[in-house]
Structure formats: C-alpha cells, structure tokens
A = this chain, B = another copy of it.
Amino acid sequence: MQKFGFIGLGIMGSAMAANLVRAGFEVAVWNRSPGKAVELVALGAKRLETPQAVVESCQVTFAMLADPAAAEAVCFGKYGVLDAVGHGKGYVDMSTVDAATSRKIAAAITAKGGRFLEAPVSGSRKPAEEGTLVILTAGDRSLYDEALPGLERMGKKVLFLGEVGNGANMKLVVNMVMGGMMAAFCEGLALGTKQGLTTADILDVLDAGAMANPMFRLKGGAVTRGDFSVAFPLKHMQKDLRLAIALGDQAGQPLFTTAAANEAFKRAKALGFGEEDFSAVLKAIT
C-alpha cells in the first residue's frame, strides 16, 4: 500500500488525513501543536517530529495549513519541507493561498529538484470528514497521477487544471460566482418580502425551477430563522470578491455585477457582520 505524509492537522487537515488512514494508506503526520495528532495516531498514523522528517519518510506529502503565512513557514522554516524535498519528492499543498504564494512555494520546491502540486479545496468541515471535497489541483502532472489515489479518498471530485496558480484562481472564480448569486438571492428575498410574499414561498418557487440549488435551500432556510451562524465567514467572501475583482483588473475583465455585490458585502462588513456567515449580506440589503 502507498505511503503518504500529511502536514497540518487542523479541523480540515485531521479529517482529511483520517480518511487516508481509514483507506489503508500508511500515513506519517506532523502538526505544530502535537496534541492534534493523538487521535490520528490511535487510528494508525505515525507522528514524526518535523515537516522535514515527514517529507523524508515518503514520496508524496500533503499539506493543509491555515493561511499563506503558515504555508510559507512550513515550507521555508527550519526543519521544513524544503530541507527534504529533493530527488523527485512530491509536495501537494492543499492550503488556500493566493496564486502568488503558490507560485513562490512551487519555484522553491522545483529549484531543489522536487515536484509541486497545488490543490486547494472547495468545501468545509463536513465534506472534509465525509471525503466529499472538490479538489482543484494544478502543477506537476506526474505528481497528480501519483497523489490521485490519496486525493480520491479526500474528495469526490478531483480536477487537474494545468499550471500552478490555476487552482487558486479557480477557487476565486467559483467563490466570486457564489458571492454574486448570494447577493442576487438576498435582493430577491428582500424585494419579495416587502411585496408581502413569504420567504418560505419564495424559496419554494426557486426550489421548484431551474435555479434550484443546495445553497439557496440551506441558506434560505437558515436566514428565514434569522440564523447566520457561520459556515463561510462574510469577511472571507468579501476578501475573495476583492481578489477576484483584482484578477479581473489584471486580466482586462470588467465585472460590474460582481463589483456591486462586493460593495454590498462591504456594507455588511461595515455594519459589523464580518464574522457571521456570508448570507448575512441579507441584513445589509433589507
């Protein structure tokens, strides 16, 4: 059976690594605070002392880190990934980072003779636990092929998108569409209820037609109950909209509707809803 490394055992990472262990792979893990590894070790994983040790122990190492700073620390830090990555070793960074950070890590890894694959995911805690993430990979194709048996245990859908940066950009594009859809949806709810329609009826009609989708169903039900408990924080959605618009800026792509949606999310953030779910944009529209 194939052997994998896994670095970063937060909420997402530990669920993803557990799916690898349960699938029968030999898995070596590392996390900054070692306590997080206890449960995985009980499942059968092996805890090592440094990222370097993990990379040395196998051909393909996955990483799932909190943000660009953590991704860079694990790669460039002492006893880090870079200290072990030569000789065709594969490093698959599944953290959500911007295209620039991704390209920087990729360049360092390949300069040392390693192979790099970026693989940000779409989906949060529950899909991570259930192994139903959508995984957006880009970079070294041979590494993709080699990592695929592992990736398929973590996600229900794995795409290879070409060169490094495309995974990060795909995530921005998808989140941007999500933000625009949410703003349009909330404007519809706001207008309809002002006309005397009920949210329940509006949701019912939307769900019966060609626009029916899990997000409207889930978020619509929640906002009807005044429930904005966070799945995807509004401030992160607004950040992604800002980054997507900046991408459009570089690419010569005007984005009028997205720009209006972005301002609505900014208003919501200014009103103090940044830490709530991104559906709380409704409160800035009503």
Contact = CB atoms under 8 A, between A and B. Distances in A.
A57 interface: no
A191 B157 contact: no
Copies in the complex: 4
A238 B252 CA distance: 12
A122 to B, nearest CB: 5
A191 B244 contact: yes
Interface string A121-159: 011000000000010100000000000000000001101
Contacts of A260: 256-257, 259-260
Contact of A251 (B169, B185, B195): B195
Nearest to A136: B205
Size class of the contact patch on chain A: 35 or more
A269 B269 CA distance: 23
Contact of A215 (B163, B177, B210, B254): B210
A105 to B, nearest CB: 19
Contacts of A185: 177, 180-181
Contacts of A258: 184, 187
A121 to B, nearest CB: 10
A58 interface: no
A42 interface: no
B254 A264 contact: yes
A138 to B, nearest CB: 10
Say whether chain A's binding surface is mostly helix, strand, loop, or mixed: helix
Interface of A: 122-123, 134, 136, 156-157, 159, 161-163, 166, 169-170, 173-174, 176-181, 183-185, 187-188, 190-192, 194-197, 201-202, 204-206, 208-215, 218, 238, 242, 244, 246-249, 251-264, 266-267, 269-270, 285
* Cβ-closest 4 pairs across A and B: A180-B184, A252-B270, A177-B188, A213-B213
25 contacts: A157-B204, A159-B205, A162-B196, A173-B192, A174-B211, A177-B185, A177-B206, A178-B211, A179-B184, A180-B180, A180-B183, A180-B185, A183-B184, A184-B184, A184-B257, A191-B248, A191-B255, A210-B213, A211-B214, A238-B249, A242-B249, A252-B269, A253-B270, A255-B263, A259-B262
